[in-house]
Amino acid sequence: MTRNNETRNVFRAGLLGTVLIGLVVLATLNIGALPFLSNNSGYRALFTDSGGLHTGDVVEVAGVDCGTVRHIAIDHAAVAVDFDLGCGVRLGGDTSARIVTATVLGARHLRLQPSGRGILRPGSTIGLDHTTSPYNLNDALTDLNDTAGNIDTAQLSKAMQVLAGTLQQTPADLRAAVDGVGRLSATIAERDQQLRDLLEHAGRVTTVLAQRSGQLDTLVIDANTVLGELQSRRDAVATLFGNVSKLATQLSGLVRDNQAQLGPTLDKVNAVLAVLSKNNANISTAIARLGPYMTELGEAVASGPFFNSYIQNLIPGQLIAPYVDAALGAPAPAAPAIPQGGR
């Protein structure tokens, strides 16, 4: 009996350990999905149409990017959009979701509008009564083209003519209005093929835009970068202008504080400038004649280790001549004879 109890206890312990190990393995494999270990909270929203929304698109709350679209799948007669939500946003019980156009090129975002009392727990689903799908331009043009193609223009023109004939006895204003409607229908009937071509071309244009949406998005982003750089340069120029204004203010204060010293200095500078201006002609003449003088002086000096120079009226010649002759080794002149008288 005791051995049976021990066997049962061992079997129970082994079964409990196996279950615990399985739970640990499952928790480890899905650790990112655990609400108390994940930074984001998963939600689901049901839409009648995906509206061009893709996996990885942004989830907005009050204009702030707070999550991404994780998965899109068909759920019976609706489209289920699974998304993560961060930023610490708490959704109310009446929270609504709609797919909106984020850019002019057709990029989509999932926009949430929190409202209502209570809290929408992670893993909850926003029903079809609280979601809105977009209607894009391509679908609108396609529907318009199909609708216009199904119009029997001949029958419409005939109906308008019958209506105009029926209302012949109506007042003049109404008759003119109906007549205008009739002419309008006739014009539409005459331009039917042109209208069809126009709608077809519009459809082609929207198709090309859809194909080039990535390039156009890049172009818009680059243009935004250029505008941002221009904005920063404008701010730098504005800062430069502000600093120049401050510098002018400081210089004005410096001149005002040192006006007593600067006044006499400027007067002396003005006096010097007046003297220079008065002797401008003499200075110009001296500078013009300095060139030939320097040329002649260079030629005189270059003739040997000595040169001759004549400076007029410096010392009388009869006084300095004997010294010059003596320096040059010339014989001194004989003294003049003194006449003797007879006895």
Q: What letter represents residue 37's amino acid? A: L
Does the predicted TM-score (pTM) go above 0.75?
A: no
Domain shared by 47 and 127, yes or no: yes
In Å, how far from its chain's centre is CA 265? 52
Report the C-alpha gap between 78 and 49 in whole angstroms. Answer: 7
Choose the final residue of a domain: 135, 169, 189. 135
Structure tokens at 241: 């202008």
Contact 174, 167 (CB under 8 A): yes
Residues 125 and 65 in one domain: yes
Q: With H, G, I as helix, E, B as strand and everything else as coil, classify residue 64.
A: strand
- Residues 31-40: contacts with CB under 8 Å, at least 24 apart: 35/122, 35/123, 39/86, 40/67, 40/84, 40/85, 40/86
Same domain, 114 and 156: no
Domain boundary among 193, 211, 229: 211
Tell me the mean pLDDT per 10 residues along the chain, length 343: 65 77 73 48 82 85 85 87 83 84 75 82 84 69 71 74 67 69 75 79 81 81 85 86 86 80 81 85 83 74 65 65 70 54 43
Do 55 and 122 belong together in one domain? yes
User: Which residue range forms the structural domain that includes residue 207?
Assistant: 139-211
119 in the same domain as 147: no
What is the C-alpha to C-alpha distance for residues 278 and 138, in angstroms, rounded to an integer? 87
Residues 51, 95: one domain?
yes
Q: Are residues 100 and 68 in the same domain?
A: yes
pLDDT of amino acid 316: 65
The pLDDT score that the predictor gives to residue 336 is 52
Shared-domain flag, residues 147 and 128: no
Query: What confidence tens digit (pLDDT) does each residue in 259-269 have?
Result: 777 778 888 88
Is residue 50 domain-resident? Answer: yes
Q: Would you say residue 22 lies in a domain? A: no
Cα–Cα nearest to 101, from 64, 131, 60: 60
**Residue 310 domain flag:** no
Do 47 and 58 form a contact (C-beta atoms < 8 A)?
no
User: What dihedral do alpha carbons 274, 278, 281, 284 form, nearest 10°?
Assistant: -30
Residue 259 in any domain: the answer is no
Of 211, 229, 251, the residue that ends a domain is 211
283 lies in a domain? no
Contact between 122 and 106 under an 8 Å Cβ cutoff? The reply is: no
Let me know if residue 247 belongs to a domain: no
Query: How far is the C-alpha of 227 from the C-alpha of 320, rounded, in Å?
Result: 90
Q: Are residues 127 and 152 in the same domain?
A: no
The string of DSSP codes covering 280-299 is HHHHHHHHHHHHHHHHHHHH
What is residue 2's predicted lDDT score, i.e. its pLDDT? 61
Q: Report the DSSP beta bridge partners of residue 252.
A: none
Retrieve residue 13's tokens: 């312990």
Q: 63 and 109: one domain? A: yes
Domain count, the chain: 2
Say if residue 130 is in the same domain as residue 153.
no
Do residues 143 and 74 share a domain?
A: no
* Residue 131 included in any domain: yes
Q: Looking at the domain assignment, is residue 84 inside a domain? A: yes
Q: What are the beta bridge partners of residue 131?
A: 97
